[in-house]
Amino acid sequence: MEYKVLGKSGLLVSELCLGTMTFGKEVNESDSIKMIHKFLDEGGNFIDTADVYVGGESERIVGKAIKERRTEIVLATKVRMRVGPHPNDFGYSRRRIMEGVEQSLKRLNTDYIDLYQLHVWDNITPIEETIRTLDDLVSSGKVRYIGCSNFLAWQMMKALAYSDYHNLVRFISVQPQYSLINREMDREVLPLCKEENVGVIPWAPIGGGFLTGKYQAGVTPSSGRLANGGGESSWEYRSTERNFAILNEVQKISNELDKPPAQVALNWLLNKEEITSPIFGATSLEQFDENIGSIGWRLTKEQWDRLDEVSKLPSEYPTRFLEKFKR
C-alpha cells in the first residue's frame, strides 16, 4: 500500500480509502469488522463513514472495529443529512454541527475525528457560521481537519476564500462522485483542487458497480444496486451508450491483463494525478478482496490513455475557448 499527502496538510493517507456505507445493512457486523481489520492489515489507514449511513449503525460498527487500533487510522465522517424529525435535525447551523460531532464521537467510540466533512452544500446556513463552527471544533481538538463532499466549484471556492481571508481552518479535501463514467468534475472541480491543493477522495469509483463487468447492454438487471437504486445509482441513469462504450474498453484491458474489470477501473483512478484516494466499498469479503487487488500494479501508459480517451468529456465552452489563450 502506498500513501499520499491529503491536500494542503501533513496528513498521509493510504492510496485506497475504505468506504463503510454498506456496513450494518448489506454487510453484517461480523463481516464489516473483518473487512476493516483486513484493510488495516493490508496497510490501509483511511476509513470513511457518515452519521447518516444506516441510521448511525455504520459509525457504531466502525467504532467497535477500530477500538484497539485507533492510532493507526485516519478516520473520516460527515454531517449535514437529516438525522431526526425536528426542524434543526439537519444542515450546518452551529447547533446541528455541535450536536452532530458529539453524536458521531459517541458512536465512533473516540474522542477525535481526523477528517470531518460537510456532506452536501446547505443553502440555508451562511458558510461563515459553518466555517467558524468547524474552526472551533479544530481548536478544541475534537476535529483535526475538515473537508467537503458533493460541492460545486464556486461553493468550494467561497468557503476556501472565507477561511483564508479570516485565517480559519480550510478544507483539505473534497469527496465527489468520480469514475470513468462520471467525469463531470473534470470541468471545474478538479482544476480548482489542483490550483488550491485540495485532496480528492472520489466516491463510486467503479460507477456504483457498473464497471464490474456484470452488466450487459439491453439487459435490465433484476438484482444488485443498479436494479434497486434510484438517482445516481439507477439503471436508467447508468445504462447509456457512452457508458457501455467505456465498459467495453475496460473489459478489453481486463482481458489483456487477466484482471477483473473493477481492478482496471480503480487502477485508472489510482494513477490519475489529481486523485488522492478513491473510496471503495464492498458487500462481501470476496468483493473486498477483488477491489483491494487494484493496488500493487499499474496499467501501461497506452492502456491508461485508452481509458482516458474513451471516457473524457466532450469539448465545451468556455474551456474550449480558453484553451486558445494558454501561455
CATH number at residue 19: 3.20.20.100
Confidence grade of residue 327 (pLDDT, cut at 50, 70, 90): confident
Q: Is residue 149 part of a domain?
A: yes
Task: Say yes or no to pLDDT of 322 above 80.
Answer: yes
pLDDT tens digits for range 94-126 = 999 999 999 999 999 999 999 999 999 999 999
Q: Is residue 270 part of a domain?
A: no
**Could you tell me if 4 and 36 are in contact, meaning their C-beta atoms sit under 8 angstroms apart?**
no
Q: How many domains does the chain have?
A: 1
Task: Say yes or no to pLDDT of 230 above 80.
Answer: no
Task: Say yes or no to pLDDT of 225 above 80.
Answer: no
Q: Cell match 467505456: residue?
A: 246
What is the overall mean pLDDT for the chain? 95
Q: Is residue 92 part of a domain?
A: yes
Write out the H or E segment, with its range, that includes residue 4. Answer: strand 3-5
pLDDT recorded at residue 324: 86
Confidence grade of residue 278 (pLDDT, cut at 50, 70, 90): very high
Give the Å distances, CA to CA, from 90 to 86, 105, 121: 8, 17, 12
Section 78-91 average pLDDT: 92
> Which triple of cell numbers denotes residue 49?
463513514
- Cα Rg, the chain, nearest whole Å: 20
Confidence grade of residue 326 (pLDDT, cut at 50, 70, 90): confident
pLDDT recorded at residue 320: 87
Q: Is residue 161 part of a domain?
A: yes
Q: Is residue 205 part of a domain?
A: no
pLDDT recorded at residue 232: 75
pLDDT tens digits for range 126-151 = 999 999 999 999 999 999 999 999 99
Q: Are strands 74-79 and 46-48 parallel, antiparallel or unpaired?
A: parallel
Task: Say yes or no to pLDDT of 228 above 70.
Answer: no
**7: region left, alpha or beta (phi > 0 left; psi from -120 to 50 alpha):** left
The pLDDT > 70 percentage for the chain reads: 98
Give the Å distances, CA to CA, from 111 to 18, 61, 79, 101, 106: 21, 16, 17, 10, 8
Instruction: Determine if the pTM surpasses 0.85.
Output: yes
> Which triple of cell numbers denotes residue 229?
437504486
- Decide which of 325 and 261 is more confident: 261
Taking the C-alpha atoms of residue 101 and residue 83, their distance in angstroms, rounded to an integer, is 12
Own/partner pairs, 194-197, CB within 8 angstroms, 24+ separation: 194/273, 194/274, 196/8, 196/156, 196/157, 196/160, 197/7, 197/8
Task: Say yes or no to pLDDT of 295 above 80.
Answer: yes
Q: Cell match 476493516: residue?
A: 36
pLDDT recorded at residue 190: 98
Verify whether residue 53 is a known catalytic residue: yes
Q: Is residue 289 part of a domain?
A: no
Q: Is residue 183 part of a domain?
A: no
Q: Is residue 82 part of a domain?
A: yes
Taking the C-alpha atoms of residue 84 and residue 322, their distance in angstroms, rounded to an integer, is 47
Q: Which of 3, 53, 165, 215 is catalytic?
A: 53
Task: Say yes or no to pLDDT of 226 above 90.
Answer: no
Range(s) of the domain holding residue 119? 3-175
Taking the C-alpha atoms of residue 269 and residue 114, their distance in angstroms, rounded to an integer, is 24
Section 243-261 average pLDDT: 97
The pLDDT > 90 percentage for the chain reads: 86
